[in-house]
Amino acid sequence: MAEDKTKTTVPVKAGDIRPFGAIPVPRVTPELLSMVRTGAVYSLEQIVEPGIPFWDGHPPLVIAPYVRHGDMPELAPASVGNEITTLPMHGCTHIDALSHIGKWVGGEIELHGGVKVKEVMSRAGYSALGAENFPPIILRGILLDVAASHGVEVLPDSYGITGADLKRCEESQGVTVRESSAVLIRTGFSKYWRTDNARFSNKGAGINIDGARYLAERKIAMVGTDTEAVEQWPFDPEGPPLPVHTYMLVDNGITHVESLYLDRLAAARAYEFLFIALPLRIRGATGSQIHPIAIA
């Protein structure tokens, strides 16, 4: 499965649309549009505000007025306001770029496709596999409400979702994981968003390596959850760290969407839909904050 290196080494320009790992160039076919049945739109983003949970290895959250209305009397009778922000992007509803996760191979760290970190990482960010490479994401999406298929409001702390769990959920809902789908998995952990941040961040249910293999074998385009890590947290201490991240992003180019808000989609039993996410193209970044939607 030779990676075409030109994909990663010719810098993207405005307007360019390329595949990025398993995320294909969007083609809005009649088949894809047939996902739209009622036309109802669901917003899947958690609101970004002080008090959201995130790992303290991410930068802190600052949202502060910078120019305030009234600051520039020379513009009267008009006035303007803006703000300065520093955000823990990976703590907001976001999508990981393939530059986010690597693995040690020999004495070096490699990203997806064998890209060597030492050749692409600099103080300017990542010259390959950065967020600027995201195409618009327009896919068949499915929701697997694993919490519901387990008959619980929220999965147990640190529950590891297996392939069998996913399969059972598909069957109970009557939907199927298919190639190039965006698979959204609901654990119910949104319940702890801003109400029990330690639990949200440190005890998340999520897919384990078995669940990850189940999805990768079906050649999905991306996977998202209503948790901070997509993968079971903490991961199995007997095995290597971050097994799902490594397997999905590095080995398979399948990226993660984290901290989704899925409760209304689940309440509506909207299990198949048109999924749209439009990642920001910030050159060299390791991901992008997004406001994904489902149109059912």
The residues in 210-229 that bind its own copies, with binding defined as CB under 8 A, are none
The reply to whether 10 sits near its own copies by the rule CB under 8 A is no
| Cα 185 from chain centre | 11
Write down the least CB distance from residue 15 to its own copies, Å: 4
Among 9, 85, 176, 195, binds its own copies (CB under 8 A): 85
Among 50, 151, 174, 237, binds its own copies (CB under 8 A): 50
Among 5, 9, 10, 60, binds its own copies (CB under 8 A): 60
Q: Closer to its own copies at the Cβ: 71 or 210?
A: 71
Among 3, 5, 17, 251, binds its own copies (CB under 8 A): 17
Among 83, 196, 217, 251, binds its own copies (CB under 8 A): 83
Instruction: Report the candidate in 105, 119, 132, 129 with the shortest Cα–Cα distance to residue 15.
Output: 132
The residues in 239-278 that bind its own copies, with binding defined as CB under 8 A, are 240-243, 245-246, 261, 263-264, 276-278
What's the DSSP call for residue 251?
I
Among 5, 9, 81, 179, binds its own copies (CB under 8 A): 81
What whole-number distance in Å separates Cα of residue 50 and Cα of residue 35? 36
Give φ, ψ of 120 to 5 degrees: -125, -15
The reply to whether 152 sits near its own copies by the rule CB under 8 A is no
**Number of residues near its own copies (by CB under 8 A):** 105
Q: Kindly state the greatest CA–CA separation across the chain.
A: 66
The reply to whether 182 sits near its own copies by the rule CB under 8 A is no
Among 173, 187, 190, 208, binds its own copies (CB under 8 A): 190
The residues in 86-145 that bind its own copies, with binding defined as CB under 8 A, are 86-87, 89-90, 92, 99-104, 109, 111, 117, 121-126, 132, 134-136, 138
Instruction: Report the candidate in 129, 207, 229, 142 with the shortest Cα–Cα distance to residue 180.
Output: 142
Among 1, 2, 6, 39, binds its own copies (CB under 8 A): 39
**Packing angle of the helix pair 209-217, 163-173 (nearest 10 deg):** 60
The answer for residues whose C-beta is within 8 angstroms of residue 79's C-beta and 6 or more apart is 69, 70, 71, 72
| Cα 65 from chain centre | 28
What's the DSSP call for residue 46?
P
What whole-number distance in Å separates Cα of residue 34 and Cα of residue 275? 12
